[in-house]
Structure formats: C-alpha cells, structure tokens
Amino acid sequence: MARVRVPLSMEKLFSEFPPEAVFKAMKTYSITNSKGEYLPWDKFKWRVKKSDNAELAWLATKIARTNVSRNLSELCIINDASCFKACIPDSLQAKLHYIDKLTGGSQSVSDHPFFGKQEKNAYLVQSLLMEEAITSSQLEGASTTRKVAKEMLESERQPQNKSEQMIANNYRLMKRAVSLKSDELNIPLILELHEIATHNAIDNDAVPGEFRTSDDIDIRDQYNDVAHVPPKASSLQERMEKLCQFANEEHGQLNSDNFIHPLVKAIILHFMVAYIHPFGDGNGRTARALFYWFMLKSGYWLFEYVSISKLIQEKRTDYDQAFLYTETDDNDLTYFLYHQVGIVVNAVDALRDYIERKQKEIFEFMNWVEKSSVAKALKRGQLDILKEAVKNPGRVFTVKTVANNLGCNENTARTYLNDLAKRDLLLVGKASKGKAMRYIAPADLAERL
C-alpha cells in the first residue's frame, strides 16, 4: 500500500488562487469525475488535464463536495477539532439502488425459489455464520484453514488453539448479533458482543467486555508508520453513548429531513467503532458484528446470508486506504462509504451466483436421482445428505454436522441418517466410548441408488 498523501487544506488553497480562477475551475471540476469516481488527492492529481493546475482543480472539487456534504455533528464531542461529514453522489446512489433492488426490489435475490423455509435455515448456517466467522477471524490474524475451521463449527468440537478460538467466538458473535436485531443499541450490548468476540482470544492485556483505559495504543501501516491514533480513553464513554444515540435515532421516516440510507448508516457505525477503537483488542470483529446487526434491524434480512469479511480480506489494502483517506481529508466518510458499498455490491452478486450454482446442482441431482425408486421415498433433507455423499465418497456425517448443515434439530438429523443407513445408502461406523456415531458415504452410492 502506497503512503497516503495528505492534501492541502482549503484555507491554504484559497489563499493561493484568486476568486476568478476558482470560479472558472468550478465549471470543469465537480464532486466526481466523468466516470463517477470520488477520487482522493493522491489519485486525483494524476487525472487533471495537463493544462490545468492540479491544486486549483482540487480546490474546485472540494468546494463542490463541501456544498453537498452533510455534517454528522451528532458523532462528535465538544473537544473535537472537526466533525465527520459525508455526501452521496449519483454514482454512490446508483450502487445503493442496485443493492436495494437485489435485496428487496423487483429483482430481489430473496424472491428466488431457493429461499424456501428450509433453505433459509440451512444457508444461514452454512454461508453467513460460518463464512463470516472464519474470514472475520482471518482478518484479525487467525491462521486456521477454512476446511479445518468449517469442520470444527459443523461438529461443534472445542477449539484446539487461539486461531480456532477466534473462529468459534466469531461464530457465536454472529449468531448473537442476529438474535439482538430487535434491540436498540446501548453500551451493555456493545460490551457483550466484544466479550463474545474476544473470549480466550486476546493478544494483549485488554479485558473482554470492557473499554480500554490506556492511551498507549496506535494503529500502524505496513511501513510501521503511525496511521491512526484513536481518541483518548477518557472520552470513550461519551463517544460510544453518542454512537448509540446515532444508531437509535430514526433516520428513515417518510418526509423526514434527516434521511440516511440504512446501508450508509451501518457503514458509518462500522467505521466509527474502528475509528474510536474503544477496546484494546477485537475492535474489527465488534465493528463488523454491529454492521450486520444494524442491517438486520433495518429489515434487510438477506444480509443474514451475505459475507463481507471474505471480500475485505481479499483486498485488505483497499479497506485500510479508504479509512486513511477519510481521516486525512477533513474526516470525509464518503471514501469509506464508496469502498464498503462496493464490497456489499460484490457480496450480493456473489450470493446470487452461489444461489444459481446451487440451484443448478440441485436440479441436476434431482433429475438424476428421480430415476431411482429408493430416492422417491426420501425426505428433502435426506436428498441433501445424499447429494453431498455422492460428490464426496468417504465423507463422514454425524448427527451434529447434519443438524447444523440442514438447520434442523438433532432428532430429525438422527432419523434421516438412521433411515439412510437402513436403506444401505450410508455405512455406519461404530462409535467409540464418548464419540458420536459416524455415517460414511459409500464409494458406490450412485449404483446403490
């Protein structure tokens, strides 16, 4: 990641150019460029016409942005030098509209027949809770492979090391965030989420479920330069109370003069927790949990099935830069909004692709299996088990893994497995003392069907 160059202040730029030159530049340069890009200074200066002065063009752009920006004074305390602000240019508005269409409009992913009652439960467990738990932990340094992590979550075995503990914690964290979606945000709720996220998985002397009391903390970039110095510990209580008030305030009423799109508000919550850094460790995990909590609270139930951490992890540098662009350019949150909205667009597209792929797999399997007289007598959940068994000869199933994957209770899972074993469609491995019964996919399952 290249070092972020801090632009000159507007006051400094105003002192360098006469008004007539500024007015002329304002006819050419606006909030975004012709491609709808909201560029920071260190990228903007290379896109200016060779015949134009880059700093003058930047001043014209800053004026245009300032004129349409909304000050978020409710997020600041009295001693802050400057408050946060944001604007929603047309290109960002278009992305928000696209997300709304895919998550609730006429082209909604949620209207896909894949989302029957059972599929919602199964996909909730398999996609968001497990995927988000794993990749959110990997963002914070967990080194466990996805395969091992998924096996741990499916079988509900105890974590064997710190990396696995982080993943198990995040799994519990995401489930708790879902269960709290009807609650208002308050300090105890935030502390509870943090305590879950950091249980037996803290890198320093931070205390799970408690705000930090020390100012001996900073965030460094890849060059070991100080990238961000969080606010003083003495201001944390006030800042977090203001953040709760912001989260709980109604910004979506019809005919309101203070409307904020729910996704924009969720992203601001995410950013502010990372910025305030109220904890000695686990801030990122808590921030992402609050993002999901607010989206679910706002009625975007499809976000139970969307994972953003995987996409952030793939382009972590872009995430870090968006944060720094905001902090170094007059606390302009628009940079972070563009980045995170882009992440969500990609995540929703990935969800749609996943659904179409799984629907195709199910269709092909059902076409094949309907020729079998045995399969016609089976439940949908049993067919799901067989689909995995056909693809993975030798795979071991247990009551717990099947219950977790299908989103059913253990009695139902046990009934499914025992019936398949009686039909000679699964092999049964003897359980040693204290171990769960194992059901194994035979290599010749297709022939048996």
Q: 32-53 pLDDT, tens per residue?
A: 999 999 999 999 999 999 999 9
Q: Which of 96-105, 165-174, 411-420 has the highest mean pLDDT?
A: 411-420
Q: Which of 17-21, 111-115, 315-319, 367-371 has the highest mean pLDDT?
A: 17-21
Burial of 115 from C-beta contacts in 10 A (0-12 / 13-18 / 19+): middle
The 438-440 sheet, strands edge to edge: 396-397, 438-440, 427-429
Instruction: Give the pLDDT score at 133.
Output: 67
Instruction: Give the pLDDT score at 255.
Output: 77
pTM more than 0.85: no
> Residue 1: which of 245, 308, 323 has the closest Cα?
323
Burial of 261 from C-beta contacts in 10 A (0-12 / 13-18 / 19+): buried
Tell me which CATH code domain 379-448 carries. 1.10.10.10
Instruction: Give the pLDDT score at 121.
Output: 46
Query: Tell me, which fold does domain 90-354 have in CATH?
Result: Fic-like fold (1.10.3290)
Q: 397-446 pLDDT, tens per residue?
A: 999 999 988 888 999 999 999 999 999 999 987 666 667 788 988 877 87
Q: Which residues pair with 220 in a beta bridge?
A: 226
Q: 52-88 pLDDT, tens per residue?
A: 999 999 999 999 999 999 999 889 887 777 799 999 9
Domains in the chain: boundaries: 10-68, 90-354, 379-448
204: Cβ contacts below 8 Å, ≥ 6 apart: 280, 281
271 vs 196: CA distance, rounded Å:
20
303 vs 80: CA distance, rounded Å:
34
Tokens 């439940």 label which residue?
379
